Amino acid sequence: MTQNPAKAENKKIDNEWNTKLESVADTEAAEVRTSTIAGTGVFAKRHINRDEVILPLTGLRLHESEISEVNRSLSLLQVEEDEYLMATGTIDDFLNHSCAPNLAFTPDGQSFFALRDIEKDEELCWDYSTCENDGEWSMDCLCGTAACRGKVTGFPNLDAATRKRLLPIAQPYLRRLYDNA
Ligand SMILES: [Zn+2]
């Protein structure tokens, strides 16, 4: 979270992180398992109470100008208008999207907290639209919830009601950009 973008090029980037499940460190509350949604996911190891902070948001912080084509195809999580966290194979990188998530960003944008009580063995998910400001980006959603939007898009392409609902749990830079929009 605190890397100086100017020094990021000196860091070794592991583009195979997503194949190394056995090396992902669990936390006291969550672990990576095979998922029904998308191959792998993160699951609750115990009952989690609403509002509990569950996982920190980690990754290699990169300025837009530092992101190569090969890295762009991997998981990037937007944290500023021109800055991204690139996945490095820690547990938070394996969280899947859901249109009815049980996790969301804390107000400082640096952790995930529980939106509701979560049962042991439930999959932990967050809404990918709450970090993304790219009007071109979308992915088909297979979350299967009643609230499923079908396509996950960047924040600009959400309908007004969804935007309003997600804004309080979005990355701080999105709250700044869209608060009065
Ligand atoms: Zn969905």
d(CA 95, CA 163): 21
Residues of the chain predicted below pLDDT 50: 1-3, 5-6, 8
Question: Ligand 1: distance of its center to the CA of 29 in Å?
Answer: 24
- 44-56 residue pLDDT tens: 999 999 999 999 9
- 66-83 residue pLDDT tens: 887 766 666 889 999 999
Question: Ligand 1: distance of its center to the CA of 162 in Å?
Answer: 13
Helix (H) or strand (E) run with residue 172 in it? helix 172-178
Question: Ligand 1: distance of its center to the CA of 4 in Å?
Answer: 35
The pLDDT assigned to 13 comes to 66
pTM for the model stands at 0.88
Question: Ligand 1: distance of its center to the CA of 9 in Å?
Answer: 35
The pLDDT assigned to 5 comes to 47
Strand, coil or helix: 60: strand
d(CA 141, CA 61): 26
Cα 138 versus chain centre, distance:
14
The pLDDT assigned to 142 comes to 85
**Of 51, 69, 52, 71, the residue nearest 60 (C-alpha):** 71
> What residues flank ion ligand 1 with Cβ within 5 A?
99, 141, 143, 148
CATH 3.30.70.2740 fits 5-128, yes or no: no
The pLDDT assigned to 130 comes to 97
d(CA 159, CA 175): 16
Dihedral, CA atoms, 37, 16, 75, 110, nearest 10 degrees?
100
